[in-house]
Structure 1
Amino acid sequence: MLVSAETGTISGPAGFGHKSGMSESDLPSFHVRLPPRLKERLQASKGSNSLNREIVERLEQTFEDPDFTYELAKIFRPLMRTLSEEDQKTLMMLTAAVIAVLAKGRPRKGR
């Protein structure tokens, strides 16, 4: 995989080293232009993964069976953008409190 530091352009085989089981030379390659901020965020969150693997895993997640938390995030994301940073923090604290209350009602394993 090639990453251009100047342009934020990433080129590399899609799926290399992941679930495809194909070698790097067998996989198609394409270029993606990323805004610098997005590239920085991906780099910061990739952990021990390569940047390519991080991008592939994130893309694959969008095609998996619907995840309730992902669906909630899709609802919250546009709403959060309309709020001030302070209101975003307040909403997140309140949401965490609601989740904590709901978790109390869940039956525990082994009971």
Structure 2
Amino acid sequence: MHHFLGYSLDEWMAITTIVSIAGGILIWLLNMAIKNGTEKLSNSVKTLINQMDNLSHSLDSIGSSSRRTENRVDRLEDKFEEHIGEAKVRNTRIKNLEQEVFNRKEK
């Protein structure tokens, strides 16, 4: 019979079979662990990405609303300044009319 490193051909076949089966089981277990572990991680990452997208959309909405509010406040300030100017003109006219009607002098 043929011997290699002190083992016969049938012993080498048995060793190869045992190592192959053990390696196959180990690879299968690692594959299952990696798939299950990464699936949970993948779901968590997808959830995080969705939440970040929602947050980004919310921030865009807040920014847009802020710009609209800023524009409205600017227009109101302009109108207020116009009203102040008109009130000053009216006060001046009233004083002039009072002086004209009552011959009052400014104090």
TM-score with structure 1 setting the length: 0.21
Between structure 1 and structure 2, the one with the greater Rg is 2
Q: Determine which structure has the larger helix proportion and give its number.
A: 2
Q: Determine which structure has the larger strand proportion and give its number.
A: 1
TM-score with structure 2 setting the length: 0.22
